[in-house]
Amino acid sequence: MTLPRRSPLLPMLVVAAVAALLYLPLMVWANYGPAARTLASGAELECRTALACATQLRNPVLPSPGQLAGGFRALSVPLTSPLSAPYNAVVTGGETLLGLALGAVVGLALAVLLVASRSFERATLPWLVASQTVPIVAIAPMLAVLLGQYGVQGFLPKAIIAAFIAFFPVAVGMSRGLRSPDALQLDLMRTYSASGSQTFRLLRFPASVPYLFTALKVAATAALVGSIVAEISTISFSGLGKMLAENSRASDTIALWVIMVYGAVLGVTLVGLVGLAERLVTPWKVRA
């Protein structure tokens, strides 16, 4: 008898419900100390007690639901305004998708070379690992200046910086996938007198597809972080990173929380798009 499949949304809804129940106590706990210090300083507030003021601070540690709702209204309308969070999220999403595509192409090429040549792997892999230890905050301005000398400005430098972070998970995951066929499968291909390219095309690459999509999900979140950091670290006129930098300088914590929520939703959306592509490309996979 086949058991009915459980909806993957159920665990997410349970976690969301628990988070909603814990939000108010955490918000009061986080804001109680700053509210008490503000009252003790003699500041004129409409509230009388620290407990009441915990939901009314101008720059709270954790905004109340009403403050978050007001922040979303202020930063979300009108949707097409260059100052709105949805508009800037679309800009950051475009940079991330382009960076993910570039990183995937580079990662796939490197994975094939790493599997095809042990000498290339021994000579290159340590440098690939070392490239990911460089702080992106430090390398982003340098890379933007370097690209600017060749006329590459605006949207593309952020995507290239995102690709710099995204290529590594793809290269590592895909190389592991290309090596996933066992010895018996490889021996069978030799029995059929398959060439190296035929073994790659008919055995190694199909076996690596699940690894590829797992790596792309990791790479998508990495590319998003790269895009936002690139927007913060370089001259940017749009994007969530630009909004984070501006509101951080203004010490607007409510706006920062709203922008972080938009960034989280954007990250979940990107991973969901990769998951949708996985379902379309690998319909034969059995999902519990």
- What's this model's pTM, rounded to 2 decimal places? 0.85
Sort residue 54 into left (φ over 0), alpha (ψ -120 to 50) or beta.
alpha
| Residues shown for the chain | 288
Amino acid at 26: L
- CA-nearest of 148, 285, 174 to 230 is 148
Rounded CA-CA distance 96/85 in Å is 16
In the block, which residue shows the tokens 């008919």? 202
Q: What is the DSSP letter of 5?
A: P
- What's the pLDDT score for residue 8? 62
Q: What is the pLDDT of residue 214?
A: 92
Closest C-alpha to 59, from 80, 78, 79, 38: 38
How far apart CA 158 and CA 277 sit, in angstroms, is 24
d(C-alpha 247, C-alpha 219), whole Å: 27
Is 140 within 8 Å of 230 (Cβ atoms)? yes
**Eight-state DSSP code of residue 204:** I
The pLDDT assigned to 1 comes to 45
Cβ–Cβ under 8 Å, residues 135 and 71? no
Say if residues 282 and 209 touch (Cβ distance below 8 Å).
yes
Long-range contacts of the stretch 188-197 (C-beta < 8 A, 24+):
196/116
Output the CA torsion sign for 253, 259, 262, 263: negative
Domains (range + CATH), the chain: 85-281 (1.10.3720.10)
The set of residues, in sequence order, having a beta carbon less than 8 Å from that of 152 and lying 6+ positions away, is 160
Count of alpha carbons within 13 angstroms of residue 211, beta-carbon side = 21
Residue 35, token pair as written in the block: 């509210």
Mean pLDDT by 10 residues, the chain (288 residues): 57 82 88 85 76 83 89 88 91 94 94 89 89 81 77 81 92 89 78 77 83 93 92 84 90 91 94 90 64
> How many C-beta atoms surround the C-beta of residue 231 within 10 A?
26
pLDDT for 262 equals 94
Give the pair of three-digit tokens for residue 228: 């936002």
